[in-house]
Structure 1
Amino acid sequence: MEEESSMETKVIYIGAENIVSPLGNTAEDNFEEIRKGKSALSLHSEDGFSCPYGKILNYDLLPELTKLESLMVHSIQSSLAQLNRDLEDSRTLLILSTTKGDIEHLAKGDVEKSKPTHLLEQVKSHLALKCSHTTISNACISGVLACIHGQDLIKQGAYDHVVVVGADLVSEFTYRGFESFFALSELPCRPFDQDRTGLSLGEGVATVVMSKDNRVYLKKPLAFLGGASANDANHISGPSREGEGLFRAITEAMKQASTTSDQIDFVNAHGTATRYNDDMESIAFHRARLESKAINSFKGYYGHTLGAAGVLELVLSMHSMRNDTLIKSLGFENEGTAKPLNVIADNESKEIRTVLKTASGFGGCNAAAILQKI
């Protein structure tokens, strides 16, 4: 029995997922909306921004909490409600994935409140869970990297359970930053399409629970087989033109997962709709022998949700697996990358057993993770 128990701990499970976005407050609602082709991207002229983005408008503002704090509390509580027992505080870690936290406090001159540690403390004060916490902030791979870090900690025996919440809102700081790069599209973004003109931004909060014990979940979880990150050290904002970092991350993730490219059924790419990112990804996928695999980006539905993106898109990929449905890459019509890809142009029913999720970000960072049905 001891040997059997030891074998079971080698599998890290992921489930109890939630998404709060402009398209809904549950993962199920969000998946149904994108399956119908609905996009959250629209103009919000009252903010003074000239490009469309995904803005969360319907939410309950909790007493003494900010918008971001309130959304995080809702998302985490929704995920914890999908467990059949309370998690032990001393054996649980809460990880926040974000690129900038609640940076709006800086506009009021409050540096301390703008720190992620304050954000987490505020959120935890409204949760029954009183566990340890930490923050992963590594540009736009933060969400995927947080899940990889959670997997590693569980495998090492440091924790039995890890709750990962990805959260970011659109702010003047973020908008003007991307605008200075001439990276924003005046129309909803079109990942991998030949007529793409840049990215769109979006708001989102998403949560998953990772565990060594599949019995904590009310609904059958998926297996988090492995993940890896790599930095191509190319440029502060431009990725390697050869996709070196992403290629290395994918290769190492497949090695950890004991998986080959032939076994991958579906790839959810980063797909920002910027020229350099999409071309880089196409090259990396070719190098990893994944060019024939069904590939999509969810950015056309939500925009780039930054620190939330990796978690949000992992959750949507999980629901693609649960529903055996490939979701079209919204905005894609004509092939337009350096190397051709099998981009999903229409929703399709297909058995999906194994999924590769990738992410890339400023500073040359890249991450890849592999999920599989149990």
Structure 2
Amino acid sequence: MPSSRAEGAPPVVTGIGVASGFGYGKQVLRTGLHAGADVFGVLARPGRQPAGAATPFIGVEMPDPPDVLPKRIARTAGLSGRVAVAVLGEAWTEAGLADVDPARIGLVVGGSNLQNREAVLALTAHGEGRAILSPHLGYSFFDTDICGLCCAAFPIRGFSLTVGGASASGAVAVLQAAEAVRSGRVDACIALGALQDLSHVDLAALQALGALGPRHAQAEAAPGAACRPFDRGRDGFVFGEACAALVLRRADDLPAGAAAYGSIVGGAHRADGHRGPDPSLEGELRAIRLALADAGIGPDAIDYVNAHGTGTPLGDDTEAAALLEAGLATARINATKSILGHGIAAAGAIEVAATLLQMRDGRLHPTRNLKTPIVPQLGWVGETSERLEVRHALSLSFGFGGIDTALVLRAPGA
């Protein structure tokens, strides 16, 4: 986020498109989130389970995307690309982008190595001599394939790029899109947190790292109990397919009758110097404090925090300590990953969408399985949704490689 406010007013979010384990569209997401519905199960997509695995991987998978692409194009697009187009379509229509000059529309795709499962399936088939490699694989392994697919499906002619921030990728995309609008580079910019299509190899590596949970055989019988952010019984994150698109525009450039979900009034994206998965209390604190300073408010003005909340022991402990030290003990706090699972690249974007939807509804979704909070003195939203008027919210995302982000969102009229 730019440090100077002379470049323009904070951008507003005017369109949201989402896909999750609940399906496609904002309404099913809102209903599922507020109900804290259970969508966890054994992962079933081809390439998600290793042959002969004694304990299968669990998580959340969404329904297949609607057929919005021409068949000749859909045949060449992977799951991540087809979901991106469906999600972008919802946000595009709601934001009225058909009336914006295509040369003034930008796209930032959050995520890297987005189509690994497709690559593993192709490699397996090719290695066994069962298939001739499709020429489309020659470019689909680049993350820009999703940029190109979206820009071919919609008239986006300003710019397109991808940003990788591991689990913070979606939030980094929102920050970059906000900067592009605020600086006047484009009139509208879409931040897309892309679906991270993990393979069984990726899942096994994350489990070997100690990040992916659960690590016990009983989870197969009760997968809905495995994802437990900030609970004493947590033992790792649980993967969940997700994708979200947010359209950012200037408040003074909205069509007549258009309503904004809220504005991006502050943000920070900082490096904390860690190469691997270990979190940094100092880095998370810096991001929170810089985002609040960018918004021109103190911690006491934050009504609600959408926490990163993965369910990893060290990650949750560090984040809870950062929230306390940052002076956010009076804010209400929940973890969207407890319901949707961890969307990796998409997480930051769909959590910003969830935050804005909760602000509009005046209602906070529950945190599934939060029975014994690790730090009881923080303002946790437990297993029941709560009514709350949110004027300012803070959304946090932290990624492997020492990437710490924070976004401050303001409700319309606040």
- Give the structure-2-normalised TM-score: 0.83
Q: Distance in 2 between matches of 1:159 and 1:19?
A: 23
Q: Distance in 2 between matches of 1:364 and 1:68?
A: 25
User: 1:100 aligns to what?
Assistant: 113
Worse-matched range after superposition: 158-167 or 183-192:
183-192
1:256 aligns with 2:255: no
User: 1:164 aligns to what?
Assistant: 191
Q: Is 2:103–2:156's contact at 8 Å kept on the other side of the alignment?
A: no
User: 1:341 aligns to what?
Assistant: 378
User: 1:77 aligns to what?
Assistant: 89
1:48 aligns with 2:60: no
User: How many percent identity over aligned positions?
Assistant: 23
Q: Distance in 1 between matches of 2:160 and 2:16?
A: 19
Question: Which residue of 51, 59, 66 maps to 2:78?
Answer: 66
| Structure 2: gaps spanning 5 or more residues | 51-55, 124-136, 220-225
Question: Which residue of 169, 178, 185 maps to 2:213?
Answer: 185
1:227 aligns with 2:267: yes
Secondary structure in structure 1 of the residue aligned to 2:228: coil
Q: Distance in 1 between matches of 2:357 and 2:26?
A: 8
1:84 Cα deviation from its structure 2 partner? 3.3
Question: Which residue of 243, 251, 258 maps to 1:218?
Answer: 258
1:105 Cα deviation from its structure 2 partner? 4.5
1:300 aligns with 2:329: no
Secondary structure in structure 1 of the residue aligned to 2:245: strand
Q: Is 2:85–2:149's contact at 8 Å kept on the other side of the alignment?
A: no
Worse-matched range after superposition: 53-62 or 222-231:
53-62
Q: Which amino acid aligns with 1:48?
A: Q
1:146 Cα deviation from its structure 2 partner? 1.1
1:200 aligns with 2:213: no
Q: Distance in 1 between matches of 2:64 and 2:81?
A: 14
Q: Is 2:244–2:350's contact at 8 Å kept on the other side of the alignment?
A: yes
Q: Is 1:329–1:344's contact at 8 Å kept on the other side of the alignment?
A: yes
Residue-by-residue CA offset, 1:184-229 (whole Å, 9 max, x unaligned): 2234210000111111001111000011145147333311101001
User: 1:11 aligns to what?
Assistant: 10
1:158 Cα deviation from its structure 2 partner? 1.4
Q: Which amino acid aligns with 1:33?
A: G
Worse-matched range after superposition: 105-114 or 204-213:
105-114
1:133 aligns with 2:133: no
User: 1:239 aligns to what?
Assistant: 279
Secondary structure in structure 2 of the residue aligned to 1:121: helix
Question: Given the superposition, is the C-alpha separation of residues 45 and 13 from structure 1 closer, same or farther in structure 2, using an over 3 Å criterion?
Answer: closer
User: 2:143 aligns to what?
Assistant: 116
1:145 Cα deviation from its structure 2 partner? 1.2
1:331 Cα deviation from its structure 2 partner? 1.4
- Give the structure-1-normalised TM-score: 0.92
Worse-matched range after superposition: 126-135 or 364-373:
126-135
1:277 aligns with 2:277: no
Worse-matched range after superposition: 263-272 or 161-170:
161-170
Q: Distance in 2 between matches of 1:12 and 1:275?
A: 35
Q: Which is higher, the Rg of structure 1 or of structure 2?
A: 2
Q: Distance in 1 between matches of 2:19 and 2:404?
A: 25
User: 1:30 aligns to what?
Assistant: 29
Secondary structure in structure 1 of the residue aligned to 2:89: helix
Q: Distance in 2 between matches of 1:250 and 1:263?
A: 13
Q: Is 1:325–1:348's contact at 8 Å kept on the other side of the alignment?
A: yes
1:235 Cα deviation from its structure 2 partner? 4.4
Q: Is 2:167–2:399's contact at 8 Å kept on the other side of the alignment?
A: yes
Q: Is 2:23–2:63's contact at 8 Å kept on the other side of the alignment?
A: no
Q: Is 1:104–1:114's contact at 8 Å kept on the other side of the alignment?
A: no
1:31 Cα deviation from its structure 2 partner? 1.1
Q: Distance in 1 between matches of 2:209 and 2:138?
A: 26
Residue-by-residue CA offset, 1:211-258 (whole Å, 9 max, x unaligned): 114514733331110100122213411112xx1111000111011101
1:57 Cα deviation from its structure 2 partner? 2.5
Q: Distance in 2 between matches of 1:364 and 1:85?
A: 35
1:124 Cα deviation from its structure 2 partner? 2.2
Q: Is 1:194–1:336's contact at 8 Å kept on the other side of the alignment?
A: yes
Question: Given the superposition, is the C-alpha separation of residues 128 and 155 from structure 1 closer, same or farther in structure 2, using an over 3 Å criterion?
Answer: closer
Q: Distance in 2 between matches of 1:220 and 1:239?
A: 34
Q: Distance in 2 between matches of 1:40 and 1:19?
A: 16
1:132 Cα deviation from its structure 2 partner? 1.8
1:33 Cα deviation from its structure 2 partner? 0.9
Q: Which amino acid aligns with 1:79?
A: A
1:88 Cα deviation from its structure 2 partner? 1.7
Count of matched residue pairs = 366
Residue-by-residue CA offset, 1:136-177 (whole Å, 9 max, x unaligned): 111111111111111122222212211111112232243122
Q: Which amino acid aligns with 1:10?
A: A
Q: Is 2:14–2:258's contact at 8 Å kept on the other side of the alignment?
A: no
